[in-house]
Structure 1
Amino acid sequence: MGAWGAASFENDTALDFASEIQTLADVESAFVAEGAEEIDADTASRVIVAAESVAAMRGHRSPGMPDDLAAKVDRFGKCSIGLYDTARNNLSAVMSRGELLELWVEEGSGEWNRAVTDLLERLNKPAVKRKKPAKRKKKPQSNPSACMFCDKPMGEGAFHMIDITVNDDEISAMKMGGWVHLQCLNAALHPRHMMQTWDFDDELLDHFLKKRDAERDAE
C-alpha cells in the first residue's frame, strides 16, 4: 500500500519528487499550478514539495523534510524574490482548487487543511539572514490569549481574530469574537473555504509592481 498522509512528505508522489530533486531548476519546474484550470493530485503534491524547498531556503524548514532533500536545499543558496513569489502563488492555487483538495474534502478530517496552512505560515515568515544583524531584533510580541478552537495560548506573533454574527430572527442578532490559530480555523473549515493570509513586505511589493508593469508593457 502506498503512503497517503496529510503532511507535505507523506505521499508517494511527494517522496518520489523529493528524491528526484537535484538542482534549483528541478524545484522551479514543479511550479505549474498558477493559472492552470486543472491541477491533478500529483502536480499539487510536487508543488507542495517545491514550496517546502523554498521555505527551507528561507530558513523555515519542515521537521518532516527528508534529510537528503534538506542537504541538497542547503546548497541552493539564497532564494530569489521571483521564486518566492512563484512558490506562494502556486501554493495558493493548490489550496484553492484541484484534485488533491477534492480528495481531502472527501476524507473530511481537516488534517490536510492544518498541514498546508502550516506551510503557508512558514512561507509567510521573513527570510532568516545568514549573518547576524548588528543590532539585536526584538522578539515578536507574545499573545497569551487562548485560541477559541484548541484553548491553547496563541503564542508569538499570533494575532488572528474572528467575529461571528448569529441571527436569532430578522431583528435581533448576537455577535461573538475571539482569537484563533489560523491552522485551527482552517482545520475546522471546509477545504474550499480555507483562509489564506499572505503577507507583503516592501521587497515583495516592489517585485509585484515591477512584474505587473512588465505584463502591461507586453500587452
Structure 2
Amino acid sequence: MEIIPLSGENQLAKNNFKKTKLFNIMGAWGHGYFEDDAALDFMQDIEDSENPKQLFSDAFEFAIDSDYLDSDDANSVIVASAYIDRQVNGTKFSSPEHDELLEVDTFPERNPDIDFSTLREKAVIALHKVLDESSELNELWAENEEDYPAWKQGIEQLIERLSA
C-alpha cells in the first residue's frame, strides 16, 4: 500500500475556511491530486452522489470527448481516478497531518458494492487527456517551471497504477 502525501510548501491552505458538509478547506493549491478548490468541490460531489460510479464515468467520458478540457473538468478526472486507485490498488491518501483525506481512504469500505475496476481504462484515457496540450490544467501547470514536473509525475504515476 502506497501513501501519497500532499505536497510540501503547497499544502492545503487552511486559513480560509469554507463550510461544507464534509470538507472545511478552501484556498487549496498544490500539485497533489486533491490540492485544488475544484478537486475539493468534486470530492464533495462524490460524497453527495447517489451513484458515484456514474459520476466518475460521466467525468471520464466528458474529458475523452472534449476538444479542450477546462481545469475544473480535468480536476474531476484526477479525483475520480484517485478514488478508483484507492479501491483497486489500495493506495492511501490520508496521513496524520492530512486526515481530511480520510474520506477518500474510507470510500471503498463505505461503498463496498460499487466495483470501479471497470472504469480503469476510461480513467487512463481521460488522464492522458489531462496531460494533453488541449488541457487547460496542463497549460496552467506548464507555466510553473518549478512545480510542473512534480504535478505531471503525479498524474503519470496514477496512470501507471491504473494501467497495471
Native 8 Å contact 1:33 1:93 kept in 2: yes
What pairs up with 1:66-145 in 2 under 5 angstroms? Answer: 66-74=101-109, 75-76=111-112, 77-81=114-118, 83-97=119-133, 98-109=135-146, 110-125=149-164
Counterpart residue identity of residue 71, structure 1: T
Kindly indicate which of the two structures has a greater share of residues assigned to helix: 2
Alpha-carbon distance between aligned partners in 1 of 2:116 and 2:46, rounded to the nearest angstrom: 16
Question: 5+ residue gaps in structure 1?
Answer: 126-219
Superposition deviation, residue 79 in structure 1: 2.6
Match of 1:46 in 2: 76
TM-score, normalising length: structure 1: 0.51
Identity of aligned residues (%): 31
**TM-score, length-scaled by structure 2:** 0.67
Structure 1 segments (4+ residues) deviating >4 Å = none
SS in 1 for 2:43: helix
Structure 1 residue identity aligned to 2:120:
Y
Give ranges in structure 2 of 5+ residues lacking alignment: 1-15, 17-26, 95-99
**1:62, distance to aligned residue in structure 2 (A):** 4.2
Q: C-alpha displacement at 1:118, in angstroms? A: 2.0
Q: CA RMSD in A?
A: 2.0
Check whether the contact 1:34–1:90 (CA below 8 A) recurs between aligned residues: yes
Q: Please identify the structure whose Cα radius of gyration is greater.
A: 1
Distance in 1 separating the partners of 2:156 and 2:117? 22
Shift of 1:61: 2.1
Residues 38 and 75 in structure 2, CA contact (< 8 A), matched pair in contact too: yes
Q: Does 2:64 match 1:34?
A: yes
CA contact (8 A) 2:93 2:105 kept: no
